Structure 1
C-alpha cells in the first residue's frame, strides 16, 4: 500500500491489493511522491482504491484525485470538506472503471491490463514512433492529489470535469518493436465490459496549489519484465534451491518431480533389458543356423583357403552376426 501524508492508494485485482515493489531509481528525498512497480497480467480487470482519514487537515473546499493511465486516459473525483466532517472513520472509494455518459445513461467501462502487441509491418492501430514523454507515460498509472476551491454549482451526471478530453481505448496497443526496444514495457490499459453505476456529481473547481500534495506512480509490468529489470528475483528451479528454504507445497512438488524422473528411468532400463534379451535370442538363432549350414554333406566339396579357414567357418558367422547386430540396433 502506497501512503503519502496519510493518503492511501492501491491497485487491486479481485478486491485484493497487488503486491508493490519499490523503484530503485526513484527519488527517495521527495516525500510528496512515491513510485511502485506492480505485476500486470493480460486480460485482467483491476480497480483503484483510495483511503483518507476523516481527520485529515483539509484547509480547502475539497480534496481532488486526478489519475491518468498511460499518459492518455484521464479521470478524477473529489471529496468535499463536508464529507470529512460527517464521516466517522476513513473515507474510502474504489474506482471500478471509466465513466461513460450518453443517451443510454451513465455507466462505467472496467479497466483492464492488455498486452502490447509488437510488429514491424502491421497496420492496425500501429504506432511507428513515440516521443520520449509518451514512452515514459506508457505502462504507468499516475494519480495527483490537489486541494481545490469549488467555483460553481453541482452538476448531476456527466462524469468528471476532465473526462471530455480523454478517449477510452477499446483495443490493445499495437506498436513497432523498435520503438520500445529495451524499455521493458509489456502492457497498456484498455476498457472492457460495462458496469452499471449511478451518475456522479461534479463541481467546477480551481486548484489552490500549483504543485500536488501527493503524486502516486504505479509502473505495471509483466512478471518476466520485472525479473529482467531486477525488481523481483528470477525464479530458481526447485531442484537448485536449498532444501531448507522450501515450503511444504514446494517439497511435495519436488518429490513429485523426482518420482516422475525415477519412473521414467526405470521404464528406460526395462526397455533396454528387453532389447538386450531380444538381441541375445537373435544371436543364438544365428549361430544355430550357421552351425547347421557349416556341416558338409556327403557330396559337398571342401575348399581350403589361403588363411587356413574353410567355407562356412566362424568368420562367415561373425560377419553375419555383425550385420544382424547392426540391423537390430538400427531398429532402436
Structure 2
C-alpha cells in the first residue's frame, strides 16, 4: 500500500513470506492523501507481519533529532510501537545491501515483560493464531446485549492500522519492564449486534507467548503533536466477507450437470448424472401407476351405480293429465 504524500514508502501485510493481495476500498469514507485504505484477504490461523520498504530520501525529517514512531493497532487497540530512524547507519547499510535504493524492515509481534525487572521476556506474534505475533482468527459472536459496548470501541473492527508520527528520543533506551499483557479488542467473544451489518468474521490477535531475548524501550516527546503524518489501514476479511461486501466477485454457481456437455463431465459427474436420471425415471413410473390406479373403477362402485339408476326409474311421478291419478305401485 502507498499513499499520495509518501510515494517512496510501501507498507505490506505478509503471510508465509508472501505479500497479501490488496483490493481497493471504494467505500464513501472521506479521502485524504495522508491515509491509505485497502482490503486484504485474511486466512484464519495464519501469522502475519507488517513490512515496510522505504526508498532513500522518501522520508525527510525536520531535524536530525527527529525519528519516526511506528504505532500498530489491531481492531482499533494499540499493540506495539517501533522507532524507525531513516538517518541511522542500519538503514544506510540496508540501502546498500538490497541494491534497490531502499531499506526494508518488519514488525511481526509484540514483546512483553510482565514480571518486571529481571523477569522473563516473551514475544507474541500477530496471528490468526500464534508468538506476541499477530494472527488472523475466527471472530466469536454471541447474542448478548451490546449496551455496555461503546460504538468507538468497535468502529475499527477488522482493521490492522499503522500510524507514523514524528517523535524525538527522550533519554537513553532502557530495558522494557512491567508491560501489561495485551488483551484483544473483541475479548473472548463479541455481541453480534456490534457488527451492525458489517461482514466481519475474522479478528487479528496475538498468539501464545514464547520466550525471547530482552528488549529495550524508548521514552519519547512529540514536538509536532501526536497527529500521524501517514496512516495505512488494512481492512482484513475472509474471502466470503469480501464477496458479501462486493469487494471481489462471488464465485459463480456451477451449471447443472444436465445442462453440460457430456464430454466435459468427469467420471464421478457422469455417474452422478446417471443416478439422477434413474431417480427421475423411477419417480415418473410411480406417478403413472398412481394415476392408473385411481382411474380404474371397482365392482362395488358399479353395483352402487346400477342400484341408483333403478331407483331413479321407479321414482313416482305426478301426472299432468287432468282427472287421472297415477298410483305408485313400487314396493317399499
TM-score by length of 1: 0.66
Q: Provide the secondary structure at the position in 2 that maps to 1:44.
A: coil
Q: Provide the secondary structure at the position in 2 that maps to 1:30.
A: coil
Alignment check: 8 A CA contact 1:73 1:168 kept: no
1:77 counterpart = 2:79 = no
Any gaps of 5 or more consecutive residues in structure 2?
Answer: 125-131, 257-262, 283-302, 304-332
Which residue pairs with 1:203 in the alignment? Answer: 218
Residue 20 of structure 1 is aligned with which of 7, 22, 38? 22
1:263 counterpart = 2:271 = yes
For residue 20 of structure 1, report the CA deviation from its aligned partner: 1.0
Matches within 5 A, 1:1-332: 1-3=1-3, 5=6, 6-25=8-27, 29-56=31-58, 57-60=60-63, 61=65, 62-80=67-85, 81-83=87-89, 84-87=91-94, 88=96, 89-101=101-113, 102=115, 103-108=119-124, 109-120=132-143, 129-158=148-177, 164=179, 167-169=182-184, 173-210=188-225, 211-239=227-255, 255=264, 259-267=267-275
Change beyond 3 A, Cα 1:94–1:138? same
Which residue pairs with 1:287 in the alignment? Answer: none
What's the CA shift string for 1:167-186, capped at 9, x where partnerless?
Answer: 23499641222232412222
Q: Give RMSD over aligned pairs.
A: 3.5
Change beyond 3 A, Cα 1:91–1:31? same
| Aligned residues between the structures | 258
Q: Provide the secondary structure at the position in 2 that maps to 1:193.
A: coil
For residue 230 of structure 1, report the CA deviation from its aligned partner: 0.8
For residue 71 of structure 1, report the CA deviation from its aligned partner: 1.6
CA distance in 2, matches of 1:237, 1:203: 55
For residue 199 of structure 1, report the CA deviation from its aligned partner: 3.0
For residue 232 of structure 1, report the CA deviation from its aligned partner: 1.0
What's the CA shift string for 1:219-264, capped at 9, x where partnerless?
Answer: 1122222111111111113439xxxxxxxxxxxxx9455x433223
Alignment check: 8 A CA contact 1:38 1:218 kept: yes
Whichever structure has more helix as a proportion of its residues is 1
Any gaps of 5 or more consecutive residues in structure 1?
Answer: 241-253, 275-305, 307-332
